[in-house]
Chain A
Amino acid sequence: MNLDWSIVWQSRWLLLEGALVTVLLTVLTMLIAVPGGIVLALMRGSHFKAVALFATAFVELFRNVPLLLLIYWAFYVMPVLTGLGLSPFATGLVALCLNVSAYNSETFRSGINSIRKGQTEAGLALGMSRSEVFRQIILPQAWRRVLPVLASTWVSLFKDTSLVSVIAVGELAHTAMQIRSQSFRVLEMLTAMAAIYWLLGYPQAKIVDWIHRKYGVRE
């Protein structure tokens, strides 16, 4: 077995660029999927049956199919639905947003439901409006339950971005796999890819633990 690790150093700028695209995808997806999740959670609680049903169907569908399939599906369906030729990056972003919005919606819903009904009723009895009750009583308590779960979702999302490599989004996994097939340095590149994900992901996992300890609610 003869190994040549210099390929990793030679391709450092490409790998760095890939890592930046990975981080960018993670950040953009979360920026879209947090409001998306809130909207879906509110829609599920709506008095209009059709709205609630649509949101439920959306959430259950996109939570219960493999992300890889969702990415392929978006890749072929999005151009037909929108009539636009979307870039692989935009397609990957759409697929990730559909998946993570569905997850976030469940997070927000269970956070809101965890606050006992009596508190809403007490607020209403005091003459507060529904939106005042939501903003001043429910949200301040619910966010403590929501934040640790969102943090875990963040790390899962960071890892899941590797799957958009199958539609040639130039993020870390795709970049490393490309260099691997051009240089034939398979072991070196795959190990470097794993090491870079580890370097980026390990601190994130530790921060999530810290958030769970600091904000987690113990019954």
Chain B
Amino acid sequence: MEFDFSPLLDSWRFLASGLGLTILLSITAVISSLILGMAVGLGRLYGPSWLKSILVFYIDSMRAIPVFVVLVWIYFAVPIISGHTFAPFWAALTGITIHVAAYVAEVVRAGLTSIRKGQSQAGLAIGMSSSQILRHILLPQAIVRMLPALGSIISVTIKDTAIAAVIAVPELMRQAETLAGQTYRPIEIFTAVMVIYFLLIFPVTRLVDRIYIRVAHLGRS
């Protein structure tokens, strides 16, 4: 078995453009999932009961349906219903966000309910409104406690962006597939791309762990 890494040197720009799109998709997906997940988590905890039951149904459904299925459904089936076609990037961003936000919502809920009841009661007793209690007492502690779980959600999100390759988003995974098909060097290319993904994801996971170790004391009560 001989290895030939020259296709990588010849086409590094092609892969680099894919890496750029992977990073862009990861960052936008993480930000939109955090925002949507925060809103869903708060709605599920403090919303009116009809909203709560809808959100619980949404969260549990996303825990049951693979992100692959969500992506192909949004990309292939939504245009049939709505009559509008999505660009692959937007379909991927929407699908990943809808899926990951459900997990973020669960983390937000677990973080907020982990703060002892006595603290909210103390806030009420000194005349704070419930939104003041949420902003000044619960969230500052809960966010610290959520960090490890959010860190793993971020790394899962980056890994999930590779699934966008199945709906032809030209991100790193898709570019690797294309290049492997053109050069007949799949082993070299997929191994190299594996290293690239590792170098992208591993530091993110580690960074969040580091930050958590430094701020963990702020979450104790």
B67 to chain A, nearest CB (A): 7
Chain A residues lying within 8 Å of B163, measured Cβ to Cβ, are 66, 68, 163
Question: Is the C-beta of A197 less than 8 angstroms from some C-beta in chain B?
Answer: yes
B173 to chain A, nearest CB (A): 6
Known: A73-B194, A206-B60. A68 touches B77 (CB 8 A): no
Question: Is the C-beta of A77 less than 8 angstroms from some C-beta in chain B?
Answer: yes
Task: Give A71 to B64 CA distance when docked, in angstroms.
Answer: 22
Chain B residues lying within 8 Å of A77, measured Cβ to Cβ, are 187, 190-191
Chain A residues lying within 8 Å of B32, measured Cβ to Cβ, are none
Q: What total of chain B residues lie within 8 Å of the partner, measured CB to CB?
A: 41
B128 to chain A, nearest CB (A): 27
- Choose from A67, A69, A187, A202 the contact partner of B61 (Cβ within 8 Å): A202
A-B contact count (CB 8 A): 116
The digit string for A186-197, where 1 denotes a CB below 8 A from any CB of B, is: 110011011001
Judging by beta carbons under 8 Å apart, are A1 and B80 in contact?
yes
Task: Give A165 to B66 CA distance when docked, in angstroms.
Answer: 12
Question: Is the C-beta of A160 less than 8 angstroms from some C-beta in chain B?
Answer: yes
A169 to chain B, nearest CB (A): 13
Chain B residues lying within 8 Å of A193, measured Cβ to Cβ, are 69, 73
A16-74 residues with Cβ-Cβ distance < 8 A to B are 60-61, 64-70, 72-73
Task: Give A76 to B77 CA distance when docked, in angstroms.
Answer: 31
Question: Is the C-beta of A142 less than 8 angstroms from some C-beta in chain B?
Answer: no
Task: Give A172 to B191 CA distance when docked, in angstroms.
Answer: 28
Which B residues have a C-beta under 8 Å from some C-beta of A? 1, 60-61, 63-70, 72-73, 76-77, 80-81, 155, 158-163, 165-166, 173, 176-177, 180, 186-187, 190-191, 193-194, 197-198, 201-202, 205
Q: A66-B159, A193-B69 are in contact. List 17 more A-B contacts (CB 8 A).
A: A64-B202, A65-B194, A68-B163, A72-B186, A76-B186, A80-B187, A155-B64, A160-B66, A165-B68, A194-B69, A197-B65, A197-B66, A201-B63, A201-B64, A201-B65, A202-B60, A202-B64
Which A residues have a C-beta under 8 Å from some C-beta of B? 1, 60-61, 64-70, 72-73, 76-77, 80, 155, 159-160, 162-163, 165-166, 173, 177, 180, 186-187, 190-191, 193-194, 197-198, 200-202, 204-206
